[in-house]
Structures are given as structure tokens and as C-alpha cells.
Amino acid sequence: MNGIKIRGTGRGVPGKIVTNRDLERIVETSDEWITARTGIKTRHQCAGEETFSAMAAASARGALVEAGISPEEIGACIVATATAETLVPSAACALQRELGLPQDIPCFDLNAACTGFLFALHTMECLLNASPRKFGLVVGAENLSRVVDWTDRGTCILFGDGAGAAVVECQEGWPSICAVLGCCGNDELLHLSGVESGGHSYLAMEGTRVFKFAVEAVPWCVEQVLGKTGRTVEDVDFFVFHQANARIIDLAARKCRIPPEKYYKNIQEYGNTSAASIPLVLSELREQGRVSPGSRVLAVGFGGGLTWGGCLIEFA
Ligand code: COA
């Protein structure tokens, strides 16, 4: 199988910012507790015209511009999300219309919770191998402020809204991203009900158990991807972990002996943006010039489902 590389990244983030101090007025919590336990200081929130669709479109446009690719060249579009504005049409179909993507390509949404962007990258690699077009658009977008229970201090402090996107290219002879993906059906640790399920209407989570799962899953995924690609920590330029909790990221990095200059956190600004968190990091790394053509990034995600995944992706 021919591999994919990232050609361009983009992000769309609403202007409204909710600080920890703002949350102190809503639930019994404190800036000190949230900062110490999670590393989060602020999160962005959709409001007014800054909707899910607007964020997703802004991130996709940014990625197309950075890649220097026109919408007609895109061969498939996947939006990783669990909080799309409408189930039908999918967010990807809405993007097809909004951006003027070709009509003879697959556009669809994919839900693997916080691991969604990595499931989507792997799916895109498979799709582009079977497509005459060589570019794909992968978006991770979430409007989590719409589904959190604003009376539950254990969850509402964690999540934020945002979108990140990548335009990827597939070329003969490029190495596969070697995605390692998995899931284990579990609706106790993290749950968000769907249409007419009669269950919770808000995101419900057993935080401490998810924490324990995550600090095991991230190092395991790193090890699996390194094993599959025959690489070592030294061969990787940057490690990008799902931004759910700064302590999870630091613990996982320490376990894998990853030096601090090789991983990055933006959770302090965005909180946990689920499927958007990895592409938001990628877009900031690119903007800051910390990754450039040839850089090798090992990305790892984990989340509801339960799901987990990792891959090694290069920048074109
Ligand atoms: N402010 C103040 N106190 C809070 C609080 C808040 N926002 N949320 C919970 N607490 C309290 C609890 O009620 C508990 O009080 P008690 O000891 O009197 O019962 C105490 O703080 C400890 O709660 P606990 O849930 O054990 O804390 P924790 O150290 O596990 O931190 C999370 C909670 C949610 C921050 C942490 O478990 C976490 O980040 N988990 C992973 C979540 C995640 O990654 N989810 C997404 C997966 S993609």
C-alpha cells in the first residue's frame, strides 16, 4: 500500500473563551483545582455565527491553502466527529457543498470519539490508494459545549470546541502511516447517547477510570507504532498525543522516555476537543515551524468506545 503524508494543516476555533474563573461561577470548582488536575486554563466555545460548520469549513480552507491544493483536486473527505450539527446530511457532505469539492468522491463522517482523527487518517490512506485523485481532506471537529452537562463539575471543566484539518497526499513508494487502531466496547467509562436511545442526554464519564486506561493505552500505542515501523524514539521528530489531560500526556511521555522538547501541549488553551485535538496540535506545530517537510510525527489518540490508535506520519 502507498502511504500518505500531510501537505497542509488548518484550524477553526471560535472566538469566545471560557476561563476557569468563568466556570467557578457555574459549578463548585476553582482555577487552582482545574489547573493542577488537568492543565486546562481556558477552552473555546461556539456562539452565534461561530458554529460547528463554520469551524470545520475554516479549518479545511486553511489546510487547502497551506497545501496549495484546490478543492477540485480532493479525492475524499472525512470528518471525524461525534457532535456534528446534523446527522444527515453529514458534516462531510455539508463541506462538499461549502468548499465545492468534487461530487464523484466519498464524503462521510466517522465517529471514533477522541481517536476519530487517527481512524480517519487510516481510512483516508486506504481510500486514496483506490482513487485516481491523490489528495484527501481529513477534518476533526467538535462542538462539545453543546453536549456537556453544565451542572457536572467532573466533566464540564474539561471539554472545548474547535476544528482542525489536514490535507494529505498519497504517492507511490511513500511509506504507510502504519496505523495501529483498536476498540473495546464499553459504555460505562464514557457515554453520549444518540437518537431516541432513552439514555443520558449529556456526555457522562468516569474520569478516574478513563485516566487509568489512558496512561496505559498511550505508551502501548507508541510502542506498537515504533515496532510496526521499525523506528525508535530518536527517529521521531515529534510526538503528538490526544489532549485530554496534561498529566496523562506528561506521564505517558515519561513512560516512553520522550524528552520534553519532542512533545507539545496546547490543552491549557483548548481543553479536550476530542477528534479535533490532534489536528489542532499539528496545525500549531506547523505554524510555529516546529515541523516542516520531512518531519516525522508519531500521533496517539484514545477515547470513548473505548477506542485507541496511533500512527507515524510524515510532512510532505
Ligand atoms: N473542581 C473541584 N473538585 C472536583 C472537580 C472540579 N471540577 N471535579 C471533581 N472534583 C472532586 C471530586 O468530587 C472528588 O472529591 P471527593 O474526593 O470529595 O469525592 C475529588 O475532586 C477527586 O475527584 P476525582 O474524580 O478522583 O479526580 P481526578 O484526580 O481523577 O481528576 C479528572 C478528575 C476528570 C480531571 C481526571 O480523572 C481525568 O482527567 N480523567 C481522564 C478524563 C479524560 O481523559 N476524558 C476524555 C477521554 S478522551
pLDDT tens, 237-267? 999 999 999 999 999 999 999 999 999 999 9
- Give residue 196's pLDDT band: very low, low, confident or very high (50, 70, 90): low
Task: Please indicate whether residue 200 is annotated as part of the active site.
Answer: no
The pLDDT of residue 1 is above 80: yes
The region that residue 34 occupies, defined by phi over 0 for left and psi between -120 and 50 for alpha, beta otherwise, is alpha
HSE-CB for 240 with a 13 A CA cutoff: 28
Q: Specify the DSSP element, H or E, that contains 44.
A: strand 42-45
Residue 26 confidence (pLDDT): 96
Residue whose CA is closest, atom 11 of ligand 1?
154
User: Is 272 one of the annotated active-site residues of the chain?
Assistant: yes
Kindly give the number of the ligand 1 atom that is closest to the alpha carbon of 274: 48
pLDDT band at 13 (very low <50, low <70, confident <90, very high): very high
Distance CA(136)–CA(42), nearest Å, equals 32
- 200: pLDDT strictly greater than 70: no
Listed in sequence order, the DSSP H helices in the chain are 20-24, 31-38, 52-67, 91-99, 116-129, 207-229, 246-255, 267-270, 277-287
CA 243–ligand 1 middle distance (angstroms): 16
Average pLDDT, the chain: 96
Q: Is the pLDDT at 229 greater than 90, yes or no?
A: yes
Which residue in 264, 218, 236 sits closest to 177, CA to CA? 236
How many angstroms separate the alpha carbon of residue 208 from the centre of ligand 1?
A: 7
The CA 265 to ligand 1 mean position distance, Å, reads 20
Report residues whose beta carbon is within 6 angstroms of any ligand 1 atom: 29, 33-34, 37-38, 114, 153-154, 157, 205, 207-208, 210-211, 214, 244-245, 272, 303
Put simply, whether the predicted model's pTM sits higher than 0.85 gets the answer yes
Ligand 1 atom 15, closest CA: 154
Quick: pLDDT tens for 206-221.
999 999 999 999 999 9
When computed from its CA atoms, the radius of gyration of the chain, rounded to whole angstroms, is 18
Separation between Cα atoms, residue 310 and residue 39, nearest integer Å: 23
The contacts of residue 13 (CB under 8 Å, 6+ apart) are 44, 55, 161, 162, 163, 270, 280
Name which of 62-66, 93-97, 187-191 the model is least confident about.
Answer: 187-191
Q: Output the residue whose Cα is nearest ligand 1's atom 33.
A: 207
pLDDT over 90 (residue 194): no
- The pLDDT of residue 80 is above 80: yes
In this predicted structure, what is the pLDDT of residue 201?
A: 76
Q: Note the pLDDT tens digit of each residue in 290-310.
A: 999 999 999 999 999 999 999
* Catalytically annotated residue among 77, 156, 221, 242: 242
